[in-house]
Amino acid sequence: MFTKAELDYLRSQRLGRLATVAPDGQPQNNPVGFFVDAESGTITIGGYALGTTKKFRNVQRGSAVALVVDDLASVDPWRVRGVEIRGTAEALTDHDPPMPGMSREIIRITPKKIISWGLGGPRSSRTV
């Protein structure tokens, strides 16, 4: 599902920004730690008290999600790179945490669309 370049890039990064939508239509966007499962093609979001957060509640209520992971590869010349993952998400409880010290709640994202840029090839946008 992810290309090798996308997997290599995602594995090199520690933070992304997760966008969710509240039931009243208000968007929310927060920095999050994430983990890629190349075998299943999913992304796991973890946190230290994730189950108490608005983003977790938004996902519990059925919010679609978008995760953006990007950075500046160079400022001279200006070169950005990144991956955007749009999809569905599950808010799971009593799950093994992705890292020690994180809570037992996670958000698992199943990609529906992957957009990537600046990863050594042309911009890519595809539905999965």
Least Cα distance to 111 among 10, 31, 2 occurs for: 2
Tell me phi and psi for residue 47, to 5 degrees. -170, 175
Q: What integer pLDDT is reported at residue 105 of this predicted model?
A: 96
Question: Where does residue 13 fall: left (phi above 0), alpha (psi -120 to 50 degrees), or beta otherwise?
Answer: beta
Which residues, including other chains, have CB under 8 Å from residue 37's CB and lie 6 or more apart?
Answer: 43, 44
Q: Residues 20-65: pLDDT tens digits? A: 999 999 999 999 999 999 999 999 999 999 999 999 999 999 999 9
Dmax over Cα atoms in the chain, in whole Å?
Answer: 46
Q: What integer pLDDT is reported at residue 16 of this predicted model?
A: 98
The pTM for the full model equals 0.94
Does residue 113 sit within a domain?
yes
Does residue 16 sit within a domain?
yes
User: Within 10 A of 126 (CB to CB), how many other CB atoms are there?
Assistant: 11
Residues forming beta bridges with residue 111, ordered by sequence position: 87
Show the domain range for 117.
4-122
Q: What integer pLDDT is reported at residue 98 of this predicted model?
A: 86
Q: Is 31 exposed, middle or buried (0-12, 13-18, 19+ CB in 10 A)?
A: exposed
**CATH of residue 113:** 2.30.110.10
Mean pLDDT score of the chain: 96
> In the chain, how many domains are there?
1
Does residue 128 sit within a domain?
no
Residue 78 has pLDDT above 90, yes or no: yes
Residue 107 has pLDDT above 90, yes or no: yes
Does residue 127 sit within a domain?
no
Q: What integer pLDDT is reported at residue 97 of this predicted model?
A: 87
